[in-house]
Amino acid sequence: MTKHSTGFNLTGGVANTILTVPTGYDAEITFLFIVNAGNSTKTVTATWHNNVNVIFLSGKSVTASDHVEFGGPFGAFLILREGDYMTVEPEAGSTFSAIISYNLYPSAPRFNI
């Protein structure tokens, strides 16, 4: 296992890819922090792309200088398979940043589900 953290200044109105799981690995997302660095309330959407698109944060309204988080001290996590990816799309004209922390593991055999 290797631990990683990456930060992004996100482009408003665009689905910004913040993680793509490399071939031969699975990723455990342990923390996702999204902050509205602008001066007005804007919305943000986060999506996990695998066989389907799983929107787990949909049009969340975030006030100026506020944030939303997943995982971290709350203990929640997501497991992504090789080739899966995560996007964050802030409202057009907004100023958002994101930090994602994750662990990479060699892919394990899995059931066909």
How many residues are there in the chain?
113
CA within 13 Å, CB half, 36: 22
- pTM of the predicted protein model: 0.92
Instruction: Tell whether the model's pLDDT for residue 113 goes beyond 60.
Output: no
Q: What is the pLDDT of residue 42?
A: 98
Is 65 within 8 Å of 36 (Cβ atoms)?
yes
CATH, domain range 2-106: 2.60.120.1330
**Percent share of the chain, pLDDT over 90:** 88
